[in-house]
Structure 1
């Protein structure tokens, strides 16, 4: 019986023959095959054909490598370009911003794993992230919101985006490990007899609790509607206060008039 030939091994490279960019590139190649969670320095060394010490020379620990990968991923997948403001209208801008973030993360699982799940951000991109939040909060404050309301509104959008993306990504990971794995909303037993409303909604394409486009858009609209109400309240607040102030100024004069007429009548 003929022996099965092993896959050709990559030749061991000489020490010092690899640079950081090549290590990062190799890390992405390996992560595409085995995922970020399973990435390790020994496996990466084997993939690149170098001793693990050659990798540690540039990256002292795995977190350092992941941070460098995140920096490259942000450039590679164009997250910054996707988040450029698309409109002068605050609602359209924030709506497009949320969808752009979600689309980039959904299309690039490694970026999702690095940033949203592992939170592997180097100092440079951590600062850029803070500046993006600062700019978004400032734009909302220009519409009349207080710092607290502007910050809470943008935080709600961020949480909504990240929550929906991470839920979908974790579902994909579970499916990869076990093809029969199902999310809780896929396990629900819906029948026309016992749950007629759910059955009717399902027939119309609704999936309760799923991080799909329909539910994402509905949740985002609710956040934007609430933010819009806060902005309207702030715009109307000065007018209401001015009316109350004018009414309070006129009130004493109205009460004083009868007294003056009473004195005049007594004198006559």
Structure 2
């Protein structure tokens, strides 16, 4: 009976019978279940039904695999994000920022790889700078100086990615059953009437929410508009 059980057991795939794409796809599947931090070579090997040495044949360490996943993730992110149009730079830049944030909210693995880990390969870095060059040129066409165009896009990128990271960290904290303390419980309507009134309307201090995101985005866009008018 024992011999029959061994014979019936599915045979492990041989080394060389798996491709790089299969490994990367499997890594995303595992990361979706256990997070990027929880991803390991043995766990991935078990998921793909191969020996762990088959994975090390292509990726000598986990960082190499994460770099490949990041390059793949950046391709998905760039494809999903609308670009800045010169004729209606303000609204297209607003849509660009909103879509950027939503992409990271909808895809936690992208956020972990691209924003929190933040290590890119040469190819991905080159592609990112090529897109940055195009964005700056578009804003210069709209009336900003090259310096102001760079600073405007950079500020929106930092603001949007910062909000996305805070949202992701908050989600991780909540998942770990230790939600972050908002501080709203100490608000006393008698001594803090203004804060109490505003928090009842949904305003939060330091929170990565829609209100704070849109306010910061509008401030950057308004400043850029003033620079264009002044120019």
Structure 1: 4+ residue segments shifted above 6 A: none
Instruction: Report matched runs for 1:219-238 at 5 Å.
Output: 219-234=216-231
1:166 shift after superposition: 0.2
Distance (Å, rounded) in 1 between the aligned partners of 2:80 and 2:175: 31
1:80 shift after superposition: 2.1
- Going from structure 1 to structure 2, the CA distance change for 1:87 and 1:213 (only over 3 Å counts) comes to farther
| Residue range with higher mean Cα deviation, 37-46 or 128-137 | 37-46
| Correspondence for 1:20 | 20
Contact preservation (8 Å) 2:74, 2:114: no
1:124 shift after superposition: 2.4
Q: Give the gaps of 5 or more residues in structure 2.
A: 1-8
| Correspondence for 2:128 | 129
Q: Greater relative contact order: 1 or 2 (C-alpha under 8 angstroms, separation 6 or more)?
A: 2
| Correspondence for 1:119 | 118
Distance (Å, rounded) in 1 between the aligned partners of 2:20 and 2:115: 24
Distance (Å, rounded) in 2 between the aligned partners of 1:153 and 1:86: 15
> TM-score when scaled to structure 1?
0.77
Contact preservation (8 Å) 1:10, 1:49: no
| Residue range with higher mean Cα deviation, 21-30 or 156-165 | 21-30
- Going from structure 1 to structure 2, the CA distance change for 1:150 and 1:201 (only over 3 Å counts) comes to same
| Correspondence for 1:48 | 48
Instruction: Report matched runs for 1:130-169 at 5 Å.
Output: 130-169=129-168
| Correspondence for 1:181 | 179
Distance (Å, rounded) in 2 between the aligned partners of 1:10 and 1:186: 55
| Correspondence for 1:33 | 33
Contact preservation (8 Å) 1:101, 1:161: yes
Specify the SS of the correspondent of 1:194: coil
1:45-87 CA deviation, whole Å, 9 max, x = no partner? 2222222211111112222211221233344x45424223467
> TM-score when scaled to structure 2?
0.88
Contact preservation (8 Å) 1:137, 1:150: yes
Q: Give the gaps of 5 or more residues in structure 1.
A: 1-8, 235-268
| Correspondence for 2:82 | 83
1:165 shift after superposition: 0.3
Distance (Å, rounded) in 1 between the aligned partners of 2:195 and 2:208: 17
Distance (Å, rounded) in 2 between the aligned partners of 1:217 and 1:182: 22
Distance (Å, rounded) in 1 between the aligned partners of 2:137 and 2:86: 15
Kindly tell me the number of residue pairs found equivalent between the two proteins.
Answer: 223
- Going from structure 1 to structure 2, the CA distance change for 1:131 and 1:188 (only over 3 Å counts) comes to farther
Which entry has the higher C-alpha Rg, 1 or 2? 1
Distance (Å, rounded) in 1 between the aligned partners of 2:29 and 2:210: 30
Specify the SS of the correspondent of 2:186: coil
Contact preservation (8 Å) 2:156, 2:217: yes
